[in-house]
Amino acid sequence: MADWLQLDWLQLLMIPFLVALVLTGIHTYLGIHVLSRNIIFVDLALAQISALGATVAFLLGYYPQSIAAYGYSLAFTIGGAVILSFSRSWTGRVSQETFIGVVYVVSAAAAFLLVDRSPQGAEHIKQMLIGSILTATETDLLKVVLLYSAVGLFHWFVRKRFLLISFQPERAEAAGLRLWLWDFLFYVSFGVVVTSSVAIAGVLLVFCFLIIPAAIGTLYSDQILPKLLIGWAIGILASSAGLSLSFAANLPTGATIVCVFGGMLALAALLKPLLFNPKKLQILGQAGSFAVTSLLTIAFLSGAWLTFRPKADQPLLDWLEASYPSLRQAFLTPEEQDYLQQAGSGFDRWQSEIQRLDQMERQSRWQGKGLSDRELRRISSYTMSFQEMQNGEKFVQRELRNAARQRQRWVFGIPMMLLSSAGFLAVRRSPRQSDQPLPDKPIEANL
C-alpha cells in the first residue's frame, strides 16, 4: 500500500517537475536579457497579447488547444512584437516600460471585454493568471521541449547579436546593426516562448521563472555563463522545493512555487552581503541590532495594544496561549477554568452532532427509503440549533478570554511596555561604545 502511494505522488508530480525544468532552462536565459534591457514587465505584456489572440480564436469557435487557436495567439504576439520593437525608438521622455505597461493594461482590458458575454470567461481569465502546472500532460511537455529547443537553437546561432543589442545597444547601433529588426526577432522568439509557457503555468508563475533566477544570477555575477548557471540552479531548487512543499503541506501548486521563488530572492539578497562583503562583522552587527530593534518594537506595540484594548485581537498573546494554554488559565479562577473547559467540550460535542446529522442526510440520499421533506426540515432545524449552541459556547470562551485579558493587561501589558522601553534605551547606548574601535580601520580601502 505504502509504495503504491509513493508511486502515485511520483506519477502526479513527475510531469509538472519536468515542465518546470524546461521552463527554468529557457526563461532564465531570456530573463537575463530582459533584466539587462530593463523591461521587466514585457512578458506580462506579450503574454496578455497572446491571450487576447487566444480569446479571439475562442470566440470564433476554435478549441483552446487547436492549431487555429495557436495561430491566432501567434499572430497577435507578432503584432505585439512589432509594437514593442518600435517602442525603443519612441522612448525619450518616457521610458520603454511605460509603453509595455500600457500594452499590458489595454490588452488585459480588451480580453475582459471580449469574454464578457461568454460563460467560460471568468475561468479563462483565472487560468491565464494562475495557470495549472499541476495538470500539465505528457503532450504539453513534448510540445514545450520541441518548441523551446528550436527557440534555444535560434538564439545560440545569433547569440552575439542578441547579447550585443541587449547589453550594449549603443555599440550595436555603431556597428551598423538594424536595432529594430533584431529587437523584433527577439520579441517574436520571446513571445512564442511566453505564449506556450503562460498557457501551462499562468502569468504569475512564468514571471517568476523569467525574473527571479536571472535576478539572483545577476546579484552574484556580472558574466553571462555564471549568471545562467546560478539561475538554473536556483530555478531547479525553487521548483522542486515548491512542488514538494505544495504536496507536503496540501497547498495549491502554482502559488506555492511563486512564494518559494520570492523567498529564494529574499534569502539571496540577504545572504549576499554576508558571503561577499569584507565588512561581514559590521553587517552582522547591523542585522543583529535591526533584529533586536524590531523585536523590541513588536513587544512595545503588543504591550500597548494589550493595555489600551485588552478585548481586541492580540496576535502575540493568542499565539503564545495557543502553545501554552496555562498562560491563560493562570488568570482565571478555578470556577472560570471549569467554565472554559465545559465550553470547549460542549463545542466539540455540538460539532460531532452536526457531523452525525450531515452524514445521515448524505447517506439517506441514496440509501434506504430516503428522507421525506418533513424529516429533512427537521434535520435542518436541529443542525441550525446545534450551530447556535456552538456559537453560544464560542461566546462563553470569548468572554472568559476577555476576562483573562483584563487581568493580563496589568501583569503583561504595562511591564512589556516598560521593559521594551528600557531595552530601547539600553540598545541606543551600547552600540556607540562597541562601535568605537571600528573607525580606526580604513574601510574605504576595501572597496
Partner 1 sequence: MQFCFGVACLLLFCLGWAMPAGADDVLRVVTTTTDLKSLVEVVGGDRVTVKSIALPAQDPHSFEPRPSDFQLLRGAQMVVKVGLDHDLWIDALLAETGNQEIQRGGAGYVDASVGIPLLEVRSTSIAPIDGHSHGAGNPHYWLDPANAEVITGGILEGLERIDPDYAAMYEANRSRFLAQLQDRLNTWEQQLAPFRGQPIVAYHNSWPYLARRFRLNLLDFIEPKPGIPPSPTRLAALLREIKDRQVKVIIREPYESDRVPRLLSSKTGVPVVTLVSSIGAIPQAQDYFSLFDYNIGALEASLKAALEASNG
The CA-atom distances, in angstroms, between 75 and each of 71, 123, 136, 445 are 6, 23, 24, 56
d(CA 71, CA 50): 10
Is there binding between residue 404 and partner 1 (CB under 8 A)?
no
Is there binding between residue 23 and partner 1 (CB under 8 A)?
no
Looking at 68-76, 239-247, 284-292, 427-435, which segment touches partner 1 (CB under 8 A)? Answer: 239-247
Print the binding letters for residues 306-345 with partner 1: x by CB under 8 A, - otherwise: ----------------------------------------
| H-helix segments, 38-120 | 42-59, 67-90, 96-115
Is the CB of 87 or the CB of 256 nearer to partner 1? 256
Nearest CA to 90 among 168, 179, 187, 194? 179
Nearest CA to 194 among 16, 42, 415? 42
Tell me if 145 sits within 8 A of 19, measured CB to CB.
no
Is there binding between residue 134 and partner 1 (CB under 8 A)?
yes
Return the residue of 370, 406, 425, 427 that touches partner 1, per CB under 8 A: 370
CA angle 373, 377, 381 (to 5 degrees): 175
Is the CB of 11 or the CB of 433 nearer to partner 1? 11
Is the CB of 12 or the CB of 219 nearer to partner 1? 12
The CA-atom distances, in angstroms, between 297 and each of 5, 300, 302, 304 are 48, 5, 8, 10
Is there binding between residue 394 and partner 1 (CB under 8 A)?
yes
Smallest separation (angstroms) from partner 1 to the CB of 347: 12
Smallest separation (angstroms) from partner 1 to the CB of 75: 25
CA angle 93, 96, 97 (to 5 degrees): 115
Looking at 71-79, 132-140, 309-317, 399-407, which segment touches partner 1 (CB under 8 A)? Answer: 132-140
Smallest separation (angstroms) from partner 1 to the CB of 153: 30
Is the CB of 160 or the CB of 366 nearer to partner 1? 366
Is there binding between residue 61 and partner 1 (CB under 8 A)?
no
Residues composing the chain: 447
Is the CB of 26 or the CB of 354 nearer to partner 1? 354
Is there binding between residue 384 and partner 1 (CB under 8 A)?
yes
Is there binding between residue 365 and partner 1 (CB under 8 A)?
yes
Print the binding letters for residues 242-281 with partner 1: x by CB under 8 A, - otherwise: -x--xxxxxxxxx---------------------------
Is the CB of 127 or the CB of 221 nearer to partner 1? 127
Looking at 143-151, 185-193, 362-370, 405-413, which segment touches partner 1 (CB under 8 A)? Answer: 362-370
| H-helix segments, 249-372 | 253-276, 280-308, 315-323, 326-329, 334-364
Q: Report which DSSP code applies to 332.
A: S
d(CA 222, CA 25): 19
Is there binding between residue 387 and partner 1 (CB under 8 A)?
yes
Smallest separation (angstroms) from partner 1 to the CB of 337: 25
Smallest separation (angstroms) from partner 1 to the CB of 387: 4
User: Quick one: cell of 13?
Assistant: 508530480
Size of the residue set binding partner 1 (CB under 8 A):
49
* Sites for partner 1 among residues 70-129 (CB under 8 A): 117, 119-123, 126-127
3-state helix, strand, coil in the chain (%, to 5): 85, 0, 15
Is the CB of 250 or the CB of 333 nearer to partner 1? 250
Tell me if 289 sits within 8 A of 431, measured CB to CB.
yes
Smallest separation (angstroms) from partner 1 to the CB of 394: 8
Smallest separation (angstroms) from partner 1 to the CB of 264: 20
Half-sphere exposure of 438 (CA within 13 A, CB side): 14
Smallest separation (angstroms) from partner 1 to the CB of 244: 9
The CA-atom distances, in angstroms, between 365 and each of 129, 360, 380, 398 are 38, 9, 15, 38
Is there binding between residue 361 and partner 1 (CB under 8 A)?
yes
- The CA radius of gyration of the chain, in Å to the nearest whole number, is 30
Is the CB of 8 or the CB of 348 nearer to partner 1? 8
Smallest separation (angstroms) from partner 1 to the CB of 122: 4
Give the burial string for 111-133 (b: 16+ CB within 10 Å, else e).
beebbeeeeebeebeebbebbbb
What type of residue sits at position 208?
Answer: C
- Give residues in contact with partner 1 (CB under 8 A): 5, 8-9, 11-13, 117, 119-123, 126-127, 130, 132, 134-135, 137, 243, 246-254, 358, 361-362, 364-367, 370-371, 373-374, 376-377, 380, 383-384, 387-388, 391, 394
